[in-house]
A and B are shown apart, each in its own frame.
Chain A
Amino acid sequence: MLSLIKNKFLRIPEKLHILIIAVIVMPLFIGAAIFFSGHFMTSYKIAFITDQAVSIPENEAMRINKMNEAPTASSLAMGEYNAFVETNKNGEFTVTTLNDESDKKAIQTFFETGKLPEINKTEQRGTGTNILGFVLVVALMQGVALTTFYPDDRNNATFKRILTSPAESKQYLAAQGIFTFIGLYVPTFTAIAITKIIFGAEIGFGLGTLAILLVILTSLATAFSLFMASIMNRNISLATSGISIVTCIMAGCFFSFTGDSEVLDVISNILPQKAFMAMSQTVENGASFQEFAGALSYIFLWIIVLGVAGNVVTKRKIKKGVY
């Protein structure tokens, strides 16, 4: 078992590109994502179209450009402006925007009264949870790249030779899992820790809490990639990326959303990512262990099921003589 693990590490040079991506590029992406997520603008960018000398009320939540002619509609689509405001001779304001009704009303009220109404946006998600949502997507996609030795060994018939030795497939998979886990965990944790300690970025968790949450996250990604590598023979990485992205959007890893589609709700509630996001949010809110114990055990259930399923599928294939 130990030599199996050692073997993985010794073979790193032949797959150097994968390791460079996992250890250097992905952490950079994560760091950049944390950095930029702290810089999201909450102000409205408004094109105020008027040819009269109207004094505009000032507010830091409104960045208003005064101009004579309306900009193109595509500048709204690209997000260069959030809204166009036009005046007519009677001094009434018309707001054109792609944002939702409450934003439109807020802008209208601001121009009419000079005051911004209290915006009751739905409860915002914490920074830490947003970051972990992004990291979860990256880890799920990256995990399969780090598990590449397993399908490689099968294709080169190395796997068959290992099985003729006293090593069992269970041990082989465990060794691969440990390798994947370390390859995912160490760079991710280091990247987040560095952005917190050196760049002082706000990450919403203490380092200890983060370390534990990342263990759960990485275990899930590892179990998933072992499972995928076991059930599929070709295009593993492409299929895994596709499944990861689609399920992560449904689970709200990118945006938290409240839809009114029951079907989607049912599906997304099954997903372990959803449970993870919920748990991360509860932890960030400072709740006690009891409050997220349910979500936690649900994620563990997924990890175990995925791990066992990977094992069983591999055993079955060996019995059938596929490898």
Chain B
Amino acid sequence: MRFLRIVKFDFGNIFKNSTLLISNTVIPLILIGLMGFVTQSFFGNGIMSSYDYYGVSMVILSALLIIMTATNAFMEGRVKQANIRMIYAPIPKFEIYLSKIISTYILGTLAFSSILIIGQYFFYINYGGTNLPYILLIVNMLVLFGSCFGTMMCCLLGDEEKASSISQLPVLLFSAFGGIFFSVYGLGKMVAAISCLSPVRWIMECAFRIIYDNDFALLLPVTFSLLGASIVCIVICQLTFKPEEFTC
């Protein structure tokens, strides 16, 4: 019960923060619309329009950027002060960071599931039609991983600003080499080979295979890798989170 109360409070904190709320709901839709519109002329009347491509890629990018929400939920100035009170209370330390992970995850799941559903049924973006649940699952796992990763970075670095600015870098790098902004094959064979190292690329490919080929070969590997990575992040949180070093 006590833990649920903490989660509820943390969730409320994110929900009341309008910047976080907007960046997880409206901004992804704007990004899809803009990128789709801007690149419209590169796409023809084939099976995939520019909105279909950026609908998938921008949702993946925004879902990864939930890391920023997680770092904010954990170590933003106002939240920090409340955390210090909890640190003094006789509760196990995992309740503190786990509640941030869970509250971020709940918000992210709600937000991105609605974006996918709205995108498919109101804006006619191809998210797989009847295969939509699988795309929901992947994005869901991605949000979980982002929440865990952001919280882990906070535990490691002990500072919101550091955590969010440093974790942005791998996200940008993997996204650029994962085909989020442009097709990796456009840069030649070498870059296409490098892109195999980017997890983002596999998530994109997994999504496209499900949507366009009904091919689920990558679904389980991607899901379990993300789940495994999330668990690793939580373990690192438990090992590195030192409440006694927590300062305002």
What CA separation (Å) do A77 and B205 show in the bound complex? 9
Task: Return A255 CB to nearest CB of chain B, in Å.
Answer: 5
* Sampled A-B contacts (6; CB under 8 Å): A39-B187, A74-B209, A237-B165, A242-B23, A252-B38, A254-B38
CB–CB B187/A148 < 8 A: no
User: Which residue in B40, B48, B192 is a CB contact (below 8 Å) of A259?
Assistant: B40
Q: B127 an interface residue at 8 Å Cβ cutoff?
A: no
Asked if residues A100 and B43 are in contact (CB atoms below 8 Å), the reply is yes
Task: Assess whether B41 is in contact with A257, with CB atoms less than 8 Å apart.
Answer: yes
- Which interface class (under 10, 10 to 19, 20 to 34, 35 or more) fits A? 35 or more
Of residues 141 through 187 on chain A, the ones whose CB sits less than 8 Å from some CB of chain B are 145, 148, 155
Chain B residues within 8 Å of A258, by CB: 41
Interface of B is mostly: helix
Q: Are B39 and A257 in contact (CB under 8 A)?
A: yes
Tell yes or no: A246 within 8 A of B by CB: yes
Besides A257-B40, A257-B41, 11 new A-B residue pairs in contact (Cβ under 8 A), listed by A number: A41-B185, A97-B46, A98-B46, A155-B77, A235-B17, A238-B68, A238-B72, A249-B34, A249-B38, A259-B37, A264-B37
Q: Which residues of B contact A76 (CB under 8 A)?
A: 46-48, 212
**B208 adjacent to A74 (CB under 8 Å):** yes
Distance in angstroms between the alpha carbons of A36 and B72 in the assembled complex: 34
> Inside 8 A of A239's CB, which chain B residues have their CB?
19, 23
Chain A residue numbers with a CB within 8 Å of B45 are 101
Q: Which residues of B contact A282 (CB under 8 A)?
A: none
How many A-B residue contacts, CB cutoff 8 Å?
A: 132
Residues of A within 8 A of B23 (CB): 238-239, 242
The 8 A CB mask of B37-76 against A (1 = contact, 0 = none) is 1111111111110000100000000000000100010001
Residues of A within 8 A of B (CB): 17-18, 21, 25, 29, 36, 39-41, 45, 72-74, 76-80, 96-101, 103-104, 145, 148, 155, 234-235, 237-239, 242, 245-246, 249-250, 252, 254-255, 257-259, 261, 264
Chain A residues whose C-beta falls within 8 Å of the C-beta of B187 in the assembled complex: 36, 39-41
A255 CA to B42 CA, complexed, in Å: 11
Q: Is B213 an interface residue (CB 8 A)?
A: yes
Q: Give the interface residue-count category, chain B.
A: 35 or more
> Which of B20, B34, B44, B213 is A103 in contact with, Cβ under 8 Å?
B44
Are A97 and B77 within 8 A (Cβ)? Answer: no
User: Which B residues form the contact surface with A (CB < 8 A)?
Assistant: 17, 19-20, 22-23, 27, 30-31, 34-35, 37-48, 53, 68, 72, 76-78, 161-162, 164-166, 169, 172, 179, 181, 183-188, 191-192, 204-205, 208-209, 211-213, 215
Q: Are B35 and A249 in contact (CB under 8 A)?
A: yes
The winner among B19, B23, B35, B184 for most chain A CB atoms within 10 A is B19
Inter-subunit contact A100/B30 (CB<8 Å): no
Q: Hey, which chain B residues are within 8 Å of A155, CB to CB?
A: 77
Contact of A246 among B27, B48, B211 (CB under 8 A): B27
Contact A77 B43 (CB under 8 A): no
Q: In the complex, what distance in Å separates the CA atom of A255 from the CA atom of B41?
A: 11
Minimum CB–CB distance from A24 to chain B (whole Å) comes to 11
Please report the C-alpha to C-alpha distance between residue A264 and residue B36 in the assembled complex, in whole angstroms. 13
Q: Report chain A residues within 8 Å CB of B35.
A: 249
Q: How far, in whole Å, are A239 and B22 apart by their CA atoms in the complex?
A: 9
Given A100-B42, A242-B27, A255-B39, A79 and B186 contact (CB-CB distance below 8 Å)? yes
Pick from B31, B37, B68, B213: contact of A72, CB below 8 A: B213
Are B44 and A99 in contact (CB-based, < 8 A)?
yes
Structural contact, A96 and B46, CB atoms closer than 8 A:
yes
Contact B43 A99 (CB under 8 A): yes
Given the known inter-chain contacts A77-B53, A79-B186, A148-B161, please indicate yes or no for A25 contacting B46, CB distance below 8 A: no
Report the minimal beta-carbon distance from A156 to chain B, rounded to whole angstroms: 10
- Rounded to whole Å, the gap between the CB of A81 and the closest CB of chain B is 8
B27 and A235 contact, CB distance less than 8 A:
no
Is A250 touching B34 in the complex (CB atoms < 8 A)?
yes
Q: How far is the CB of A186 from chain B (nearest CB, A)?
A: 19
- A-B complex: 8 closest residue pairs judged by Cβ atoms: A79-B183, A235-B19, A73-B212, A74-B208, A98-B46, A100-B44, A77-B208, A79-B185
Chain B residues within 8 Å of A73, by CB: 47, 212-213
Residues of A within 8 Å of B41, CB to CB, are 100, 257-258
CB distance from B153 to the nearest CB of A (A): 12
Q: Are B185 and A80 neighbours in the complex by a CB distance under 8 Å? A: yes
B47 close to A237 (CB less than 8 A): no
- Would B188 and A78 count as touching, CB distance under 8 A? no
Contact assessment for A97 and B44 in the assembled complex, using a CB-CB cutoff below 8 Å? yes
Q: Which residues of B contact A245 (CB under 8 A)?
A: 31
